[in-house]
Amino acid sequence: MSGISSARGDLRIDHVSKSYGDFTAVNDLSLTIPEGSFFALLGPSGCGKTTTLRMVAGLEEPTKGTISLGNTDITFTKPYQRPINTVFQNYALFPHLTIFENIAFGLRRRGIKDVKEQVEKALDLVELSHLSSRKPTQLSGGQQQRIALARAIVNRPALLLLDEPLGALDLKLRRQMQIELKWIQKEVGLTFVHVTHDQEEAMTMADTIAVMNEGEIEQLGSPADLYDNPKTAFVANFLGQSNLIKGTITGNDGDNHVVELFGQKISLAKNRSHAVDNSILAGIRPEKFRISRLATPTSGNILSGGKIEDVSYIGVSTQYQVLMPWGQELMVFEQNDDGVAPFNVGEDVNISWEAGFTFALRGDEDAEAGTEVNPEEIIEDDE
Amino acid sequence: MSKSGISNPRTPYLLLLPGIAFLFTFFIWPIANLAQTSTQTPIAGGDTGEYEQTLRWANYLDAFLENKEQFGRSFLYAAIATVAALAIAYPLAYAIAFKAGKYKNVLLVLVVAPFFTSFLLRTIAWKQILGEQGVVVPFLRDLHIIAPSTTLTSSAFAVVAGMTYNFLPFMTLPLYASIDRIDPRTLEASGDLYANGITTFRKVTLPLSMPGVVAGTLLTFIPAAGDYVNAAILGSPQTKMIGNVIESRFFKIVDYPTAAALSFTLMAAILVLVSVYIRKAGTEELV
């Protein structure tokens, strides 16, 4: 059918803003999503990620800026003219049509000839061929999710948008679908843009993650980049957990800074510091810490004078809260694999870690940013 | 009472009893009475309105043949009014369901607001609206849509317009209920899957609102086919509907058998039409 853009290529979002009255949902967002990638927009409820997705789909118009696909400007193109398909949050399957007709819907609108063959192929891909004559209400949530995916993929869009596609599934099914989605993306070779508030989901599936907060991108990078070397306190806290300790850069030692944390000196690689001056927040992931009894020799960065405040045994690891002399509680995850007797509440301990794991944020950042949102508890609804 | 909470197995039937008693007294018994009346003939030499049971089934044929014009007119007017009401109510219900936002409830109250005034008064008001002193006639004359000599009262147009107006809420409410249940995301999904506005309406919105369309058209067509108030107030002898005939046979001519036979014929005709319609609309499970 004429009218549908045949644009292919990278998706470019260029200085896009979206306001509803006084509220700015998306603020001057610029982003390039390379063709063929699995890209995740990750952020808490209300961060603007769904609005961004809807603007790409054509369901909302940007207040400012342009969106283009390859060399084609699609900012104000109608949804039905874009070579973009969406897997909606609650699937939005057509309740009056059979599974077969649901999947055939886009093909029929475009006047494609071999509808039957293509629908069957799509059903094969999601392994639900036997359900083609059922109605959507007769399917389980996981099956509906796959049909929604098949209904979008069958059109071979330049871009497939997934809006919290696994949000309504239970944990076990979600894990399974994450792996399957990733496999399907490789199999069909389409560009996937995935919106989620679940950091684990984003990290499992995406090649590149953009962490969004309050309508802006906090940081963009591979899952490992974001986790190992976060640039802001929000990213450090939203992706996994972080211990952020106030400190000052007091000197240099080759490629490293010498940092003083409440009177104790540690080492920080210069290229892992995002601070703008000498005032920093030193960051260490809880699983990077090692706890040792006072007499045990330790190497790397050491903080002494800790006292075990709380112990929780959770199987694969034991989580400790360690109270430091300056009154801050640090979180430590110890693998239960080293034969060291577990520590008891009240024990005096030292904490150590490999110097290379330290990262540093600007000293004026709010160390609590991103911690108040517990991704598992939020039911996404920021449309 | 037993511990399980399900006490006497006869309780459900006891609870049904008042309803059954009511239905029997005010529906089944009168219907049976009517059926019995429909085959009576006048008592030879008796007074006006005195009839005896002679099982004269030919009453039905006589009554129908004598009034087939009014039958045809009833179904024609009811059909036109139903289509007109659907054309007006669908966009209205759609707008209330999807576009009204916080004014949804206010608009719904406005839809049923006419019921606060008597049906008769509202129909008489239409006589004024369509009359020489109203705004409609001079306006249409100025635009040369109707000739200067044409009047709108006492016409088929007035009867159909009155019926359309009077039954509009019965069309709007089921349509609204049905459209309001449509997940707006399915409409977005349709657009996302290359359907433009018109195709989305044809392929998604309309099929999903069919239960409302069927319920609304039945709730409009059935009472409209049997209506006599609109024709009596807004019509002329040339626009008489079957309801008017039944009314005059019963109350003016006291020809009870003919009136009863006509009533049964009307009921049967509506029943047949409705069954065919529901079968065609393919929504047996919805009614």
CB-side neighbour CA atoms (13 Å) of A76: 3
Alpha-carbon torsion (A161, B95, B113, B214), positive or negative: negative
Are A92 and B193 inside 8 Å of each other by CB? no
Phi, psi of A296 (to 5 degrees): -70, 135
What's the CA gap between B115 and B245, in Å, rounded? 26
E strands, chain A, in order: 11-20, 23-33, 38-42, 64-69, 72-73, 84-87, 159-163, 191-196, 208-213, 216-221, 243-253, 256-261, 264-269, 279-284, 290-293, 301-313, 317-323, 329-335, 348-353, 359-362
Name which residue leads in pLDDT, A164 or A167. Answer: A164
* Binary contact (A85, B193; C-beta < 8 A): yes
pLDDT digits (tens, 9 = 90+) for B135-189: 888 888 888 888 888 888 888 999 999 999 999 999 999 999 999 999 999 999 9
DSSP A82: S
> Which pLDDT belongs to residue A170?
83
Q: For residue B185, which residues of chain A lie inside 8 Å, CB to CB?
A: 88-90, 92
- Contacts of residue A276, Cβ cutoff 8 Å, sequence gap at least 6: A362
SS3 B252: coil
Residues of A in contact with B192 (CB under 8 A): 57-59, 79-80, 84-86, 88
Do the Cβ atoms of A307 and A326 come closer than 8 Å? no
Mean pLDDT of the region A82-105 = 94
**Average pLDDT score over residue span A82-100:** 94
Closest partner residue to A80 (CB to CB) among B185, B194, B208 is: B194
Express each pLDDT in A181-226 by its tens digit.
898 898 888 999 999 999 889 999 999 999 999 999 999 999 999 9
Whether B4 shows a pLDDT value over 70: the answer reads no
Residue A375 in this model has a pLDDT that exceeds 60: no
From residue A337, give the alpha-carbon distance in Å to each of A241, A315, A341, A349: 21, 11, 10, 19
Cα(B229)–Cα(B121) distance, rounded to whole angstroms? 11
- Where do the domains of chain A lie, and which CATH numbers do they carry? 11-228 (3.40.50.300), 241-362 (2.40.50.140)
- pLDDT of A4: 75
Contacts of A165 in chain B (CB under 8 A): none
Q: Give CA B37 to chain center in angstroms.
A: 26
| Predicted pLDDT at A339 | 66
pLDDT tens by residue, A30-39: 999 999 999 9
Digit-coded pLDDT (tens) for A65-85? 999 999 999 999 999 999 999
pLDDT for B64-93, tens place per residue? 999 999 999 999 999 999 999 999 999 999
For residue B285, what pLDDT is reported?
A: 47
Task: Name every chain B residue with its beta carbon within 8 A of the beta carbon of A86.
Answer: 188-189, 192
pLDDT class for A172, splitting at 50, 70, 90?
Answer: confident
Answer yes or no: are the C-beta atoms of A229 and A359 closer than 8 Å.
yes
Strand order of the β-sheet with A191-196 is A84-87, A159-163, A191-196, A38-42, A208-213, A216-221
Cα B114 to the center of its chain, rounded Å:
16
- Whether the per-residue pLDDT at B47 is higher than 90: the answer is no
Q: Provide the residue type at B120 as one letter.
A: L
What's the pLDDT score for residue A298?
77
> Per the structure block, which two tokens stand in for B147?
């000739």
Q: Is the pLDDT of residue B201 over 90?
A: yes
Instruction: State the Cα angle at A123 between A119 and A127, rounded to 5°.
Output: 170
Contact B189 A86 (CB under 8 A): yes
User: What band does B259 get if pLDDT is binned at 50, 70 and 90?
Assistant: very high
Q: What is the mean pLDDT of residues B32-37?
A: 93
Strands A11-20 and A279-284: unpaired
Q: For B191, which of A4, A80, A96 is closest by C-beta distance?
A: A80
Q: What is the pLDDT of residue B5?
A: 61
Listed in order, strand segments (DSSP E) in chain B are 40-42, 51-53
**Average pLDDT rounded to a whole number, residues A252-272:** 92
Residue of chain B whose alpha carbon sits nearest to that of A90: B185
pLDDT in the model for residue A203? 92
pLDDT recorded at residue A378: 44
Any long-range contacts for A74-80 (C-beta under 8 Å, 24+ apart)?
A: A74/A5, A74/A7, A77/A5, A78/B191, A78/B196, A79/B188, A79/B191, A79/B192, A80/A3, A80/A4, A80/A109, A80/B191, A80/B192, A80/B193, A80/B194, A80/B195, A80/B196
Does ipTM come in above 0.90?
Answer: no
Question: pLDDT digit string (tens) for A120-150?
Answer: 999 998 889 999 999 999 999 889 999 999 9
pTM: 0.82
* pLDDT recorded at residue A93: 96
In the predicted structure, residue B2 carries a pLDDT above the cut 60: no
Say whether B192 and A80 touch across the interface (CB within 8 A). yes
> Residue A380: what pLDDT?
43
Model confidence at B253, pLDDT cuts 50, 70, 90, reads confident
Average pLDDT of chain B to the nearest whole number:
90
Distance separating alpha carbons of residues B242 and B67, to the nearest angstrom: 7
Question: Cα-atom radius of gyration of chain B, to the nearest Å?
Answer: 24
pLDDT tens digit sequence for A10-51:
999 999 999 999 999 999 999 999 999 999 999 998 899 999
Provide the 3-class DSSP secondary structure of residue A162. strand
Residue of higher predicted confidence among A370 and A1: A370
- Residues whose CB falls within 8 Å of the CB of residue A160, separated by 6 or more in sequence, listed in order: A84, A85, A86, A87, A152, A153, A190, A191, A192, A193
β A191-196/A159-163 pair status: parallel
Which pLDDT value is given to residue A372? Answer: 67
In angstroms, the first-to-last Cα distance of chain A is 31
**Residue B231 confidence (pLDDT):** 92
The nearest CA of chain A is from the CA of B178 a distance in Å of: 13
Spell out which residues of chain B touch residue A58, defining contact as CB-CB under 8 Å: 191-192
- List of domains in chain B: 32-40+52-286 (1.10.3720.10)
B183, A1: Cβ pair inside 8 Å?
no
pLDDT at A5 over 50: yes
Give CA–CA dist B232/B242, Å, rounded. Answer: 11
Please report which confidence band the pLDDT of residue B50 belongs to, taking 50, 70 and 90 as the band edges.
Answer: confident
By DSSP bridging, strand A208-213 and strand A301-313 are unpaired
